[in-house]
Structure 1
């Protein structure tokens, strides 16, 4: 049996059938349904046909993406490929990788690797970009739940599948090489992969072995400009009423490199006709050295002068304003006079947008955040599959360890400069520094302080499961099979951190760099940002020096900090252990009705979680240990039905109750905070909430599907009723007389999620000759979400959810040529709740004096879309070449504060071109 290696591209599966898998690693067929074999499928047409078959025969509501050939996934990363799936939305990370996968608007996804739970360090989820797409044979996005599936994903399950030796019927060697060219960096980056597999007869049995190794390294640069949080210009030193101005204007480049080594090994032994024993191993690593190079010009220091000002009086709103120009927080609103009467600390003003201005004597700043990160994921598993007639038993036990080390050292420098700004240019801001003083030698001083952050985190998981299925062969009427199983998981998570901020000697802008014991190359040039000085570079501290042990110690001596890395702090540590027990029982049924058949599943999964977590807080400068023990018990039922009309039409309906356990860092009973050395930055901290409840979802799905030849169309409706949704947001808290923005997670009560998914695919066989190789696909998802209850976000949609999301693609597959041109777009969404911060905001006139009301402020991301292409040619049966490009229309991330003319970020997402070759023997 050869490897089924097909590229399934963006096909809506939404498929729920009569039989669930007896083991999540490998779906068992329903009675009367032929098992889908793993076979080699090359070309886009065959892969789409195969995709429709998988969709039609799957046990749950599933969308699949399958590699077009060995080492040929449809996109450079798993997350990039997933964005084509109906109902899936993604974001772009600081290193320009597509990440942040949401399924139908929710990020609470359980990730499995060949059916086993997999995670990243102390989190619940797994960063799918940490497993290179080249290593994968297939990814299933499971949107509905059945009792045999591991609990933990209210959004769904993403199952990553690796190649296995028994999927090949002959010795196979495949080598791939690719050159990737990111336009922002203007460098060529290497990518390599190798797979070798063979099978041998041994006595009455057979053994197969497979080794797959991949590696790639990427340079990246992601320029960003930002117009910071707004405040009234009444704040000192300006005293101008009625003007809404940014606290600062700036930008940054996230740039550097990262690499991802990966290796996986699989051994299968068919010991007898009835028994297969297997062994799996995986290593997936991540390394990076990157830096955030900041440029900032804050406008509210005492010596800063406002030289000129233009205000747009058509863009105004009513706002509360404190004497400092901010929005009042709860402390301001709750203030009382000497007699105990309300004496809130704010005035009311109509604020109009500062369109442009010139400020002089501004404390210009450049800053280097020098970061280094190492991540290692190890997983090993062993198990067996035994079949004897109608009975099958599967056993699997696995161990995973995930480790992460991270460091970040920050040094700021600056000088006084003049700044011109424009807050509204093509949905973003722009700034100019006459003479580019931040890009010239001389006159530099230390600013703010030396900030150090060191983290280590480790997660471990032992998981064991036993699954049973017995076919009844009509012995009990409409019950076709009985399925049952048990699972035990022992999870631990340890996080340790040290943060140490030390102010600049003598204070801000008091110590000149001249004369300090620093090397001649301490200042280096950063990449430019188009919207700051028209892309001119600036000087900033050398990130390599900040990453070196010797350089750090020199800086520590300058700032008066102890040499050596600071010790981990108990108030920034948590240690968690968690035991999970689960079982399931499920019936596979089939009922004849009027010449048709209705089949499906009915089952339940009881689960119990016992958790112990240790943290610490600081009370009156004393570290106080805090311990929390919790126990949760849930029963998760499911029921489904499918009717096949025997003419290509199928209809399905399902219900399932699903759950998501809180993140370990959210459960941490400790509290930590830190005073910022930068006076333009608000003091901050974070705290956990050991009383967080698991999120629960009642999930309903219904689909109608039609298959005709190589084509299909599908429509689906879904509804999710969510309870105890967890949201983390900052609020102002006063500790020892100092205000901090403390971020705490909370359950927001309830939320609803409902929507429609429509998709289709076809090839134009009716066209003559080479034209018949063309095809097309498209999908559209509508997601309507709303937070319920009395939370501050009640009435708003869920964070990160676009209401509209669509993909359209043109395909070609004939005469050895295959290609695709695909456009994916999403409507606006918000990615941050800023309500608890001090940003100025609109307020209704009749609520100004409501001292318990703080208007909600959200950071919205404007609509956007990405156009990608790839085209390949088979030179021979063994050699294939291809070229491709992602984001070729140069989509940008653009955001705004609550009101669409309050521009915030303008981020330059990269365009990447690729050239690759694959050799198969």
Structure 2
């Protein structure tokens, strides 16, 4: 207890005395939260300066942070369609304590808060999920129709449970957020540097309010459409394995003997593969909301959102078999120095197998969200409720065709951050070279997620130290269904190789020394269309049947009730906050099939008491100390509970679920010191610690399947571990500077997070997945007259991608990553503005390695993108 008490009671004294304590405000569509103090937006004086633009949005975000009854950070749009990034995941990297991950094409597609990826995501307080994941994949949601978002880093009893890292609430506007008629629209053209293509991006919102004989009615209609082109260039390996059959490393005259001679152990990958990857993603949303106020004390709302995300990717990969039964004959080994002396710097193979693999995938899915609710108040009583339904479903398909040849000589180089391979004696651009077998791979997945829910919340306001009491309940019934098939036969093409192939681009990593830049590959038209792929491979045109052993049907019923007391009193200095308790009862039922195709079902239930307390002490009107404690749980992702095993037969990898996963629990301790000054300025520092039990991490082990060794990744519960750290944030506009320099501003944050989680059956600890120990974000801002610009640089240190259970030295690490983005807005008048955005200006690389940088596995160059658009509002 002493360490925890020390954490909560320790905070550095921060004081900066620049500017006035007054706050500034813009009439933004995002509503301020309950529990605002005397400095809140509702209490500002009429003669206060009103700021707009980027500065106005930052001022509103600072005010939301200041007035919140818990530790939070926010992003507020200047107007609908004017958030600074194109998808929500990329928005989040601007917030301290939040780190994002990017896919191989450079798009932000994952995030962790305070070191944990288990984050509850809501839209206007309503839970959001994606098919079989509890956390929404925010890559698939455009930022164009949002009015802002909040990241809550401490819990309150009235919020939905399930987030260990925190809760992200996304704001979608409602008609009563505006004073009257409002229209906002954005049109832009985006350019992908790698694909050399231009794509459209359109969004718009129309809202109005009407006085009728039945009360005031507001109607809002919005929509968004965009096509996103992206690309990535990559050289990679698969997992390294130990072998004693390659080379007489110890010089005793023998190797490849039984029993194995450990002195001949060599650690190498089984493949080295340069690859081009391009993506084409369509995102569209239709959103409608109605509010009706039949009287001054009752408001009824209804809204519906229909969104579609259609992701398509196309890859061209050259795979050289560097280990295994078909690798060829090895020779000419050159070894690294310690500590990884059994990993060669380079070696040569004769008669090596070379495969040109062309693949594509489609991941279209649709999400429907419907909600109907009310807000009623009478004197000290407030009552609100909402019934909601979410349906998210869609298939995932991928297919590939591999044509094969042999190279008289292949030289593998593992000496740098980019693994490379060079071949000689064969023309990789000639159809006549590919005379070997052809491998076809086909994977299909169908997933459905559905959840009806209902909540009811009541508040009774009091006079005295207890300012209000809150009680409420929530019920949710979630069903997740998943089916998977996967095949990989050897086939004979129905057409000659020369008539169905084309040359790849020839600019792979042109700024690095990569020996192979171009080869022959199956034409894209035969791969992008699944029917044509199957016809070329000579297989059935219909989808394969889904094996029952890969089926699961999961049903979860959750009841939650809570009580919370909000308080405010004076103990020599003003103290306010909340104290609450949430009780959650979870019952689930799972249906699967065993290896003999017999149906197997099981049930489980568990109950959790989740206390929370948030305290704010006001040393002055501008200097606050916040202390918080909460207990949290998160349930396993539905996809992680699936018994299905999906194999990639070309890359010799696979992934599967674990139906025995249990919920993860955490005791959470937070302290934050915040100082506000000037119109938009503040500096804050916070400490946090999470004591985690049953953390779920993915571990990889080698498994032999049908005589072939695969690296299989599965999730497991670990024991107890700790995540702790601190973050510092500073935001200021330099009004005191003369003339045009007074438009300068700065926003920066730094986060340190340390994690130590146990490995099942071993005495070691490992870092949490996707967590960087160090990260920071620096944003330079200028806003004066019609010009508004900002440049943001983000950096994060190395992080674990996947832990390797049987050998921590083979844990897959992401090397440090960086990004530099730029945005410029020019306001033609108060209604029309032009905007230019550039992302990943440095065309940064992603590097991955096993254990240490001496064992490289991935070098991935990310796409650079530009966007030019116009925004109008009335």
TM-score, normalising length from structure 1?
Answer: 0.85
The answer to whether residue 125 in structure 2 is matched with residue 115 in structure 1 is yes
Residue matched to 1:581: 559
Residue matched to 1:566: 544
Q: What CA deviation, in whole Å up to 9, does each residue of 1:690-719 have, x standing for no partner?
A: 3x2211111111111111113211011011
Secondary structure, in 3 states, of the residue corresponding to 2:630? strand
Residue matched to 2:7: none
Query: In 2, are the aligned partners of 1:166 and 1:199 still within 8 Å (CA)?
Result: yes
Match of residue 526, structure 2, among 532, 539, 545? 545
The answer to whether residue 473 in structure 2 is matched with residue 486 in structure 1 is yes
Residue matched to 1:724: 694
Match of residue 428, structure 1, among 418, 421, 425? 418
The answer to whether residue 813 in structure 2 is matched with residue 860 in structure 1 is yes
Q: Hey, what's the Cα distance between the residues in 2 that align with 1:405 and 1:630?
A: 29
Secondary structure, in 3 states, of the residue corresponding to 1:191? strand
The answer to whether residue 173 in structure 2 is matched with residue 163 in structure 1 is yes
What is the CA distance between 1:720 and its match in structure 2?
Answer: 0.4
What is the CA distance between 1:821 and its match in structure 2?
Answer: 1.2
Q: Hey, what's the Cα distance between the residues in 2 that align with 1:501 and 1:800?
A: 31
Q: Hey, what's the Cα distance between the residues in 2 that align with 1:61 and 1:645?
A: 17
Query: In 1, are the aligned partners of 2:500 and 2:522 still within 8 Å (CA)?
Result: yes
Query: In 1, are the aligned partners of 2:103 and 2:109 still within 8 Å (CA)?
Result: yes
Query: In 2, are the aligned partners of 1:140 and 1:160 still within 8 Å (CA)?
Result: yes
Secondary structure, in 3 states, of the residue corresponding to 1:271? strand
Q: Hey, what's the Cα distance between the residues in 1 that align with 2:775 and 2:546?
A: 44
Q: Hey, what's the Cα distance between the residues in 2 that align with 1:734 and 1:553?
A: 28
Moved more, 251-260 or 103-112: 251-260
Query: In 1, are the aligned partners of 2:60 and 2:76 still within 8 Å (CA)?
Result: no
Query: In 2, are the aligned partners of 1:446 and 1:504 still within 8 Å (CA)?
Result: no
Q: Where does 1:619-698 land on structure 2 (aligned, <5 Å)? A: 622-668=596-642, 670=643, 672=645, 678=650, 681=652, 684=654, 686-690=656-660, 692-698=661-667
Moved more, 787-796 or 406-415: 787-796
What is the CA distance between 1:863 and its match in structure 2?
Answer: 1.3
Query: In 2, are the aligned partners of 1:281 and 1:381 still within 8 Å (CA)?
Result: yes
Q: Where does 1:289-438 land on structure 2 (aligned, <5 Å)? A: 289-300=312-323, 309=332, 311-317=334-340, 351-421=341-411, 423-424=413-414, 427-434=417-424, 437-438=427-428
Residue matched to 1:27: 33
Match of residue 597, structure 1, among 565, 574, 578? 574
Q: What CA deviation, in whole Å up to 9, does each residue of 1:40-99 have, x standing for no partner?
A: 963222222222111110122111011122211111211111111101111111343112
Secondary structure, in 3 states, of the residue corresponding to 1:314? coil
Secondary structure, in 3 states, of the residue corresponding to 2:484? strand
Q: What CA deviation, in whole Å up to 9, does each residue of 1:860-884 have, x standing for no partner?
A: 1111211111111111222111212
- In structure 2, the CA distance between the partners of 1:172 and 1:126, relative to structure 1 (3 Å rule), is same
Q: What CA deviation, in whole Å up to 9, does each residue of 1:895-915 have, x standing for no partner?
A: 111122111100011111221
Structure 1 gap segments, 5+ residues each:
1-11, 13-23, 318-350, 506-512, 837-853
Q: Hey, what's the Cα distance between the residues in 2 that align with 1:184 and 1:279?
A: 43
- In structure 2, the CA distance between the partners of 1:65 and 1:457, relative to structure 1 (3 Å rule), is same
Residue matched to 1:66: 76
Residue matched to 1:210: 220
Q: Hey, what's the Cα distance between the residues in 1 that align with 2:174 and 2:518?
A: 50
Match of residue 915, structure 1, among 851, 868, 873? 868
Secondary structure, in 3 states, of the residue corresponding to 1:134? coil
What is the CA distance between 1:207 and its match in structure 2?
Answer: 0.9
Q: Where does 1:824-843 land on structure 2 (aligned, <5 Å)? A: 824-836=794-806
Q: Where does 1:602-621 land on structure 2 (aligned, <5 Å)? A: 602-618=579-595
Secondary structure, in 3 states, of the residue corresponding to 1:133? coil
Match of residue 196, structure 1, among 206, 209, 223? 206
- In structure 2, the CA distance between the partners of 1:307 and 1:129, relative to structure 1 (3 Å rule), is closer
Moved more, 789-798 or 230-239: 230-239
Query: In 1, are the aligned partners of 2:459 and 2:469 still within 8 Å (CA)?
Result: yes
Match of residue 877, structure 1, among 824, 827, 830? 830
Query: In 2, are the aligned partners of 1:556 and 1:563 still within 8 Å (CA)?
Result: no
The answer to whether residue 668 in structure 2 is matched with residue 699 in structure 1 is yes
Structure 2 gap segments, 5+ residues each:
1-13, 15-29, 249-254, 257-263
Query: In 2, are the aligned partners of 1:92 and 1:909 still within 8 Å (CA)?
Result: no
Q: Where does 1:754-773 land on structure 2 (aligned, <5 Å)? A: 754-773=724-743
- In structure 2, the CA distance between the partners of 1:712 and 1:145, relative to structure 1 (3 Å rule), is same
What is the CA distance between 1:27 and its match in structure 2?
Answer: 3.5
Q: Hey, what's the Cα distance between the residues in 1 that align with 2:148 and 2:171?
A: 5
What is the CA distance between 1:108 and its match in structure 2?
Answer: 0.2
Query: In 1, are the aligned partners of 2:421 and 2:516 still within 8 Å (CA)?
Result: no
What is the CA distance between 1:308 and its match in structure 2?
Answer: 6.1
Secondary structure, in 3 states, of the residue corresponding to 1:629? strand
What is the CA distance between 1:757 and its match in structure 2?
Answer: 0.8
Match of residue 500, structure 1, among 474, 487, 490? 487
Secondary structure, in 3 states, of the residue corresponding to 2:197? coil
Query: In 1, are the aligned partners of 2:240 and 2:810 still within 8 Å (CA)?
Result: no
Query: In 1, are the aligned partners of 2:270 and 2:324 still within 8 Å (CA)?
Result: no
Q: What CA deviation, in whole Å up to 9, does each residue of 1:554-600 have, x standing for no partner?
A: 3453xxx5552211111111111111100000111122112x22111
What is the CA distance between 1:770 and its match in structure 2?
Answer: 0.9
Residue matched to 1:141: 151
Residue matched to 1:523: 501
The answer to whether residue 136 in structure 2 is matched with residue 126 in structure 1 is yes
Match of residue 97, structure 1, among 104, 107, 118? 107
What is the CA distance between 1:310 and its match in structure 2?
Answer: 5.3
Match of residue 747, structure 2, among 765, 777, 782? 777
Query: In 2, are the aligned partners of 1:96 and 1:222 still within 8 Å (CA)?
Result: yes
Secondary structure, in 3 states, of the residue corresponding to 2:295? coil
What is the CA distance between 1:162 and its match in structure 2?
Answer: 0.7
Residue matched to 2:772: 802
Residue matched to 1:346: none
The answer to whether residue 271 in structure 2 is matched with residue 248 in structure 1 is yes
Residue matched to 1:272: 295
Residue matched to 1:222: 232
Q: Hey, what's the Cα distance between the residues in 2 that align with 1:911 and 1:634?
A: 46
What is the CA distance between 1:388 and its match in structure 2?
Answer: 0.9
Query: In 2, are the aligned partners of 1:748 and 1:791 still within 8 Å (CA)?
Result: no
What is the CA distance between 1:606 and its match in structure 2?
Answer: 0.3
Q: Hey, what's the Cα distance between the residues in 1 that align with 2:243 and 2:446?
A: 42
The answer to whether residue 458 in structure 2 is matched with residue 464 in structure 1 is no
Instruction: Please tell me the root mean square deviation across aligned C-alpha atoms, in Å.
Output: 2.7
- In structure 2, the CA distance between the partners of 1:793 and 1:613, relative to structure 1 (3 Å rule), is farther
Query: In 2, are the aligned partners of 1:463 and 1:487 still within 8 Å (CA)?
Result: yes
What is the CA distance between 1:644 and its match in structure 2?
Answer: 1.0
Q: Hey, what's the Cα distance between the residues in 2 that align with 1:159 and 1:420?
A: 53
Q: Hey, what's the Cα distance between the residues in 1 that align with 2:293 and 2:265?
A: 79
Query: In 1, are the aligned partners of 2:348 and 2:412 still within 8 Å (CA)?
Result: no
- In structure 2, the CA distance between the partners of 1:44 and 1:685, relative to structure 1 (3 Å rule), is closer
What is the CA distance between 1:639 and its match in structure 2?
Answer: 1.3
Q: Hey, what's the Cα distance between the residues in 1 that align with 2:242 and 2:781?
A: 53
Query: In 2, are the aligned partners of 1:111 and 1:159 still within 8 Å (CA)?
Result: yes
- In structure 2, the CA distance between the partners of 1:673 and 1:409, relative to structure 1 (3 Å rule), is closer
Equivalent pairs counted in the alignment come to: 825
Q: Hey, what's the Cα distance between the residues in 1 that align with 2:372 and 2:346?
A: 65
Q: Hey, what's the Cα distance between the residues in 1 that align with 2:753 and 2:86?
A: 27
Moved more, 202-211 or 709-718: 202-211
Residue matched to 1:259: 282
Q: Hey, what's the Cα distance between the residues in 1 that align with 2:759 and 2:517?
A: 50
The answer to whether residue 197 in structure 2 is matched with residue 187 in structure 1 is yes
